Structure 1
Amino acid sequence: MTNSTSKEQDTHPLTSSFERYLQDKGKGRGGDGGNYRRNAERELQRFVEWAAGDRGDDDWTGIVPNDAEREPAFEDIDERTFREYARHLAGDRGLKQNTVQTYYAYISAWCGWCVNEGYLEAHYTQRASATAPLPEDDGRKPGDQQAWTPEQRHELTRHVDEQARDAVEAYTTLPADTTSPDKQRARYKALKATRDRAFVYLIAYTAVRVGELLRDPNDPRRRGVRWEDLNLEDGSMDVYRKKQQWDAASLPDPVTHPLKQYRKMLKPPTDRWPVFPTFDQRTLGTLVQEELADRGHQPAAIEDRRDEFVCDLLLALEDDIRPQSITTDGARSMLRRLTDDAGVDVDHPRHEYLAPHGGRRGMGEVLVRSFGYTVAARYLDNSEEMVRERYSHIEAGELGDVATEALNEIDG
C-alpha cells in the first residue's frame, strides 16, 4: 500500500512524535517510567516497523511511496493506513480478540494525541472504515474493564488522606495575627483537599455510578447530590439511579469521616448546596456577578465585594450564592490530576488514570469475592444476572480451584 506525499524534504517522520508522546504518558520525573509508557512504546515500534514494510506479508511494502527513500511520515497516513494495520493485527492468528483490540487501542491513543498536537488533521483510527477489520467484541470489552486494584485504591486514598490532613492542620493552626487573605487561602486549600478526599472515598467504597453523584448538563434530573440527600448518621445517600428513580445508596464507615470533615470545612449555608460544587473560577465569577446584580448591587459595589475574597467560591459560601455541582467530566479531570499526583501506576490501553467506573468495578470485585453475587448485585444496583456476567472470571477461578482440589484428592 502506498500513499501520495509532498516533497521529501517537507515530511515529518512518525518517530519524531514518539518521545514527546511517551513523556506525556509516562510517570515520574521526565515521564520515563510507568507500565503504560513501556507498553505504548512497544506498540508504536511495532506500528512504525509495519509502516516501513518490515512486518506483514511478503507482498506488504509499507506506506512510504515506492520512489521515496525515507522512513514513514505523517504525510503518508490516512484512514486507509489504519484499516490496513487493523487487518494486519486481526490476521495474526496468534492474537486473541481482546489482545487485538488492546494493541489497536494503543495506536489509537497515540493518533488522538497527534491530532491534538497538530501532527494529524483527523483521528483516523476511530473512523468506521479503519476499525472495520477489527474482530467483533467478544464480550470482554478490554477497554472498559478497568478495576481499581487494592494496591491502587490504597495508594490513592493514602495520598488524599495526607493532602487533606496537611491542609487542614495548616489552616487550623494559623497564628492569631494571620491576615484575612492568608486565612482565606489556607481555607480554600483545605476545602479543595477535603473535597478531593471525600470524592475519592465515595468512588472507591460506595460503588455509586459517577453519573449518580454529579451533574449531567444534558439531563436536568441529574443535578448532583446535595447535602440534604445525605444522612451521615445512618450511613445512607439518596441518588437518582440509572433506572430513572431515586433510591438509597449505602455509605460505609470509611466514607463517613471524610464527608464529615469536608462538610465542616465547607460549611454550606443550606442543605440544598451541592456536595461537590464547581470550583471553576470563571464559572463562579460569572455566577457571583449575575446573582449580586439580581440582588440590586451596582457593578462597583459588586467588584468591591469580590475584592474582599481571594476566590469567588468563598464569597458564594458567605452570601449563599449556590453554584451548580461539578459535572462528570470535571470529576474525571479531578481523578486524572489525583492519579498523577499520587504517582499511581496505571497500565490500561484507554484509561491512563484511575477512572470513576474503575472504582465501582473494583468494589464489585471485593463484594463478589467476599459475599457472593447476590449481595454484590444489591450493593451495585444491578441484576444478579448482570453481575454474574461481568464478574464471571471470579467464578471461573473459584471453579478452577475446586477442580484442582478434586483432582488432588483423586490422585492422592
Structure 2
Amino acid sequence: MTPRDRADQSLEGSLERYLQDKGKGRGGDGGNYRRNAARELERFAEWAAGDRGSDDWIGIVPDDVDREPIFEDLDERVFREYARHLAGDRGLKQNTVQTYYRYISAWCGWCVNEGYLKAHYAQRASAMAPLPEDDGRKPGDQQAWTSEQRHVLTRHVDERARDAVEAYTTLPEDTDPLDKQRARYATLKVARDRALVFVLAYTAVRVGELLRDPNDPRRRGVRWEEISLEDGSMDVYRKKQQWDAASLPDPVISPLRSYRQLMDPPTERWPVFPTFDQRTLAELVREELAERGERPEAITEYRDEYARDLLLALDQDIRPPSITTDGARSILQRLSEAAEIDIDHPKHDYLAPHGGRRGMGEVLVRAFGYTVAARYLDNSEEMVRERYSHIEAGELGDVATEALNEIDSLT
C-alpha cells in the first residue's frame, strides 16, 4: 500500500500498531518505551485535533472540514508547529523537549516505512528548527552517589539490620507467639532493605534488571535460584534483552546471606526482594488459599494465626511478587531521609537507584579505566567514555597543569 492509498486514514488508527511493534513481551503490551511513547503520541494526537495548545489553536484539520486528523494533513510545517509548541507552550527543559520530540519523530519514521507517509517530515531541518539545543544530558540521569553518601547509607541500613536481628534472636522463650512473629517480620523487612541497598550500591546492576517492572512482563524481579553466593554472581535480564551474569562483590555477599537465612524461602523460585505491601499480600493469600480449596472461614482462621500475611505466605509457599522499581525508589527515599544524608541535586532529594550504578561507574573508571568499567556496567566502552567524560577531562587538566609547572620550573 502506497502513502497515497493511506493518506485518508486517521492518525489514531496507526498509533496502537506502532506501539505494539515497539512494545515488549507477548503482544507488544509491555516495556517502558511503549508506555512513554504512548503518553507523548496521545498528546500529539490531541494537539493535532485542536484539544491542546493555545486558546486559538484549532488543530491541523482545515477550517472548512469536519473530521479527525488524517495523514494527508501532515507535512513538515505541522511538525515544525508541534516542535514550537513543545519548546514554548509547556515550559519544558530543553533536553526534555528533545526527548518528547524524538518519540513523535520515531513514530513518523515508522509511518514512512509502513506506507502512511511519503517522507519523514519530522526529521527535516525546517521542522526541527524551533527545537532547543540538546545539552547532551538525560533528565534525572546525572545523580551519582558519592563515596561518603554510599558509606553513610550502607552504614545506616547495616546498623538497623544488626539491631533488629539482635532484638529478634534474644527474645525471651516465653514471648507471645504473635509478638515473636512481629519481631521476625520487622527483622525481615530491614534485612531486605539492607540487602537491596548493598546490591544497588555495589553491583551497578540497573534497577529494572533487579526488580519487577509492571510494564514489562519479562522483568519479574530476580529470584533466589538466580543468585549464587558461592560464585559471587547473579543472573539478570539485561537491557540488551538477554540473560547475563552480574558480579556480586564481597560487600554484597554477607547482607544477602544473612537475609536469606532469616527468610528461609520455601523454594528457590521466591523473589529475593518480595513486596511487603499488606494489601497486596492479603489479597494474594486469600486468593491462593481459596484456589487450594479452603473455605472463607478457614482462611480467616489461618490469617488470624499470623501477625503478618507475609509470614503465612512463607509457611504456605504462596509466592509474592517482587517489589517494583517504583517501590525501590520509595524505599530509598525513606532510608535517605532516615540516614540524614546530605544531597545536593536539582531533581532528586534522595539517593535514587540509578545514582548507585553511576557512582560505581565513577569508582571503576577512576580505579581501572574505561575498558574494565564498561564490562562491569554492561555498556560499550564508547558509551562509558561519553558518560564519564568529565573524569578524562579532569585527568587531562591535571596533565596540562603538570606540564605547565614543569615548563615554568625551567624558565
Aligned position for 1:145? 142
Between Structure 1 and Structure 2, how many residues are aligned? 292
- Equivalent position SS for 2:245: strand
Aligned position for 1:240? 237
Q: Which of the numbers 207, 210, 232 marks the counterpart of 1:210?
A: 207
Aligned position for 1:284? 281
Q: Which of the numbers 297, 301, 306 marks the counterpart of 1:304?
A: 301
Aligned position for 1:33? none
State the one-letter code of the partner of 2:259.
Answer: Y
CA-to-aligned-CA distance 1:121-178 (integer Å, 9 cap, x gap):
xxxxxxxxxxx99943211346320000111111110110110000000000001111
Residues 56-71 of structure 1: matches in 2 within 5 Å? none
1:260 equivalent to 2:257? Answer yes
Tell me how far apart the structure 2 counterparts of residues 196 and 266 of structure 1 sit (CA, whole Å): 13
1:270 equivalent to 2:243? Answer no
Tell me how far apart the structure 2 counterparts of residues 140 and 406 of structure 1 sit (CA, whole Å): 32
Provide structure 2 residue ranges, at least 5 long, that are not aligned to the other structure: 1-84, 99-128
- Say if 1:181 and 1:309, in contact at 8 Å, map to a contact too: yes
Q: Which of the numbers 328, 332, 338 marks the counterpart of 1:331?
A: 328
CA-to-aligned-CA distance 1:230-249 (integer Å, 9 cap, x gap):
00011000000000000000
Question: Could you say if the C-alpha distance between residues 305 and 151 of structure 1 is closer, same or farther in structure 2, counting changes exceeding 3 Å?
Answer: same
- Say if 1:201 and 1:255, in contact at 8 Å, map to a contact too: yes
Aligned position for 1:29? none
Aligned position for 2:176? 179
CA-to-aligned-CA distance 1:326-362 (integer Å, 9 cap, x gap):
1111111111111111111211111111000000000
- Equivalent position SS for 1:193: helix
Aligned position for 2:166? 169
- Say if 1:167 and 1:193, in contact at 8 Å, map to a contact too: yes
With structure 2 as the length reference, what TM-score do the two structures score? 0.68
Residues 15-54 of structure 1: matches in 2 within 5 Å? none
- Equivalent position SS for 2:281: helix
Deviation at residue 86 of structure 1 after TM alignment: 5.9
Tell me how far apart the structure 1 counterparts of residues 387 and 323 of structure 2 sit (CA, whole Å): 29
State the one-letter code of the partner of 1:275.
Answer: V
- Equivalent position SS for 1:265: helix
- Say if 1:86 and 1:133, in contact at 8 Å, map to a contact too: no
Question: Could you say if the C-alpha distance between residues 86 and 316 of structure 1 is closer, same or farther in structure 2, counting changes exceeding 3 Å?
Answer: closer
Tell me how far apart the structure 2 counterparts of residues 210 and 369 of structure 1 sit (CA, whole Å): 23
Tell me how far apart the structure 2 counterparts of residues 85 and 289 of structure 1 sit (CA, whole Å): 46
CA-to-aligned-CA distance 1:274-295 (integer Å, 9 cap, x gap):
0011111001000000100111
CA-to-aligned-CA distance 1:357-379 (integer Å, 9 cap, x gap):
00000000000000000000000
Provide structure 1 residue ranges, at least 5 long, that are not aligned to the other structure: 1-79, 91-96, 102-131
Tell me how far apart the structure 1 counterparts of residues 396 and 145 of structure 2 sit (CA, whole Å): 24
State the one-letter code of the partner of 1:184.
Answer: Q
Tell me how far apart the structure 2 counterparts of residues 158 and 169 of structure 1 sit (CA, whole Å): 16
Q: Which stretch of structure 1 is more off in the superposition, 312-321 or 134-143?
A: 134-143
Tell me how far apart the structure 2 counterparts of residues 161 and 203 of structure 1 sit (CA, whole Å): 14
Aligned CA RMSD, in angstroms, stands at: 2.1
Q: Percent identical across equivalent pairs?
A: 78
Q: Which of the numbers 154, 157, 160 marks the counterpart of 2:157?
A: 160
State the one-letter code of the partner of 1:158.
Answer: R
